[in-house]
Amino acid sequence: MKKLALLGALLLTACGTSPEAPSAYSVDNCGHTFDFERAPERVVLQDVSPVLTLSELGVLDKVVAKAGFYPEEYFSPELNSQVESIKTLSDRLDATGHLQISKEAIVAERPDLVIGYSDAYSPDTVTDTPVVMDPGFCGEVKEASWSHVDDEIDLYAQIFQAEEAAQALKDDVAAQVKALDSSAGAGRTVAVLYPGTEGGTLYAYGKDSMSNPIVTSLGLKNVFGDTAERVFEISAEQLVAKNPDVILILNSGEDRVVESVTSLPGAQTITAVQKKAILPMLLTFAEPPSPMAVKGAQKLEQFLHDTH
């Protein structure tokens, strides 16, 4: 705060008292502090997670390029049209869903902000451009709750100086969360998984994952909800032993994600498999904390009503 006050004082001294004089500010994110002289004007996205937030804050038009996975299922037709119009630098993902892109491709766009990390472009590989990430992906979120959605909104509101729009968005999120049917999954258990396709590693989500408040808001009990981690490796035997009534399979559009779970050794003894209570869901509907999580909760709510 002292740094922020000093910067503001220096600017006022240099520019007089004009109300149009810019005020520098700093933003903390994922263990880094980034200084801004003005709200970003040339943004490159390496992650789909903040798209809805940026749109609701009225700043998506500041995005000049994108890279990664942007499925139409996430957004309204109008927002999809806007996203599609943004230049694509790369849509290549590796087997674990991580973006494949060159540093040079991003540098060529002359960004003043990059959102999302990749191996090629992150705070570890560049120092001249702010590179921010949703806090849920860098270990800052512990015991995830709906309040962490507000934190995500506040992050981008601070970066883009859009606090008024942020409050309206937070109010809308709160109203939608309040409207969820807390009895939809009452008496049932759930496992939230990210499957290892083609024999890969199977992962489960615990209490630090946004998926946990999503399922508990609907009355479900997360069978891995006592684990103080966001995501962690599990065995088929552990899943079978937990015997969830419902399985939520997060994914990034991979093929045969349901089969990758139902074909596990012993899977046919799991209640969710026997009752076909398995819902595949694109990752950003549940991770990280963002307004997209409300949409994910609504999808799961409908599924629970349909399978009751």
- Say yes or no: 227 and 292 in one domain: yes
**Residue 79 and residue 154 in one domain:** yes
Q: Residues 203, 301: one domain?
A: yes
Whether residues 56 and 135 share a domain: the answer is yes
Residue 175 near residue 199, CB atoms below 8 Å:
no
Residues 30-43: pLDDT tens digits?
A: 999 999 999 999 99
When divided into structural domains, the chain yields a total of 3
**Residues 205 and 89 reside in one and the same domain:** no
Assess if residue 181 is contained within a domain: no
Regarding whether 210 and 148 lie in a shared domain, the answer is no
Whichever domain contains 194, its CATH number is: 3.40.50.1980
More confident residue, 21 or 226: 226
- Residue-wise pLDDT for 135-187, tens only, equals 999 999 999 999 999 999 999 999 999 999 999 999 999 999 999 999 999 99
Say yes or no to pLDDT of 67 above 80: yes
Same domain, 55 and 123: yes
Q: Is residue 199 predicted with pLDDT exceeding 90?
A: no
Domain that holds residue 84: 39-176
Is 44 in the same domain as 171? yes
Global pTM exceeds 0.85 = yes
